[in-house]
């Protein structure tokens, strides 16, 4: 696989590992709890990523089909377009630019932790498969329209780089939520000190 595509695959794998660690760490009773009424819970952060993956996969597959019909070779180096580069730059953690999420990507009823993690992993595997299928295609010349904002268009290579960065952004947010919730919990009761023998 092309080194640039390998780097994306590794980032997707890193996000998957990060979620597994988070799911194994967060107390079950805090998984769906918000630390702030205006901020998502850990579960909602993961549900948002699943909604994102579900929206992007059909766009990626359609773009790859167009690429196969073009019959053009892949370049020796992939490049993001300016819009894609800017979105990639803004997407990653730590969060410096907050962007209001459009309604289709706001999580509603949230599934169980097991279902959310399983769906994330299913979507991640499907994305990696499409990434592998993109090798030898001119993905820098294949365009998609953002499902978040129809005014934005960027090339498929940029899309592939944005997706794991967006995942790490929201996983970082989920980790911040878990940290805040942990601090909000009352300290565990400490055992009373044992009496000292006095001579």
pLDDT, tens digit (0-9, with 9 covering 90-100), for 94-143 = 766 677 788 888 998 788 999 999 999 999 999 999 999 999 999 999 99
Counting Cβ atoms within 10 Å, is residue 153 exposed (0-12), middle (13-18) or buried (19+)? middle
The CATH number that applies at residue 81 is: 1.20.120.450
In a domain, 192, yes or no: no
Question: For residues 30 and 175, what is the distance between their CA atoms, to the nearest angstrom?
Answer: 12
In a domain, 197, yes or no: no
| pLDDT at residue 13 greater than cutoff 70 | yes
In a domain, 189, yes or no: no
pLDDT, tens digit (0-9, with 9 covering 90-100), for 21-62 = 999 999 988 999 999 888 899 999 999 999 999 999 999 999
In a domain, 193, yes or no: no
Q: Which domain holds residue 96?
A: 3-183
DSSP designation for 92: S
If phi > 0 it is left, if psi is from -120 to 50 it is alpha, else beta; for residue 10 that is: alpha
In a domain, 15, yes or no: yes
Structural domains of the chain, count: 1
In a domain, 40, yes or no: yes
3-state secondary structure of 155: strand
Residue-wise DSSP of 17-57: HHHHHHHHHS-GGGTT--SSTTS--HHHHHHHHHHHHHHHH
- Decide which of 196 and 76 is more confident: 76
In a domain, 98, yes or no: yes
In a domain, 195, yes or no: no
pLDDT at position 199? 31
């Amino acid at each position: 696989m092309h080194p640039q595509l390998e780097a994306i695959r590794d980032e997707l794998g890193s996000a998957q590992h990060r979620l597994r660690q988070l799911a194994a760490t967060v107390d079950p009773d805090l998984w769906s709890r918000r630390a702030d009424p205006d901020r998502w819970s850990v579960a909602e952060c993961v549900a948002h990523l699943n909604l994102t993956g579900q929206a992007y996969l059909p766009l990626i597959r359609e773009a790859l089909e167009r690429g196969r019909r073009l019959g053009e070779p892949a370049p020796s180096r992939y490049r993001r377009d300016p819009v894609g580069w800017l979105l990639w730059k803004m997407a990653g953690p730590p969060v410096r630019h907050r962007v209001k999420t459009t309604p289709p990507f706001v999580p509603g009823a949230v599934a169980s932790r097991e279902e959310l993690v399983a769906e994330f992993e299913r979507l991640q595997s499907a994305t990696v498969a499409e990434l592998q299928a993109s090798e030898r295609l001119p993905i820098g010349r294949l365009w998609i329209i953002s499902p978040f904002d129809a005014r934005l268009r960027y090339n498929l290579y940029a899309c592939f780089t944005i997706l794991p960065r967006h995942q790490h952004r929201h996983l970082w947010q989920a980790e911040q939520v878990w940290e805040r919730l942990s601090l909000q919990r009352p300290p565990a009761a400490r055992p009373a000190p044992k009496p000292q023998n006095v001579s």
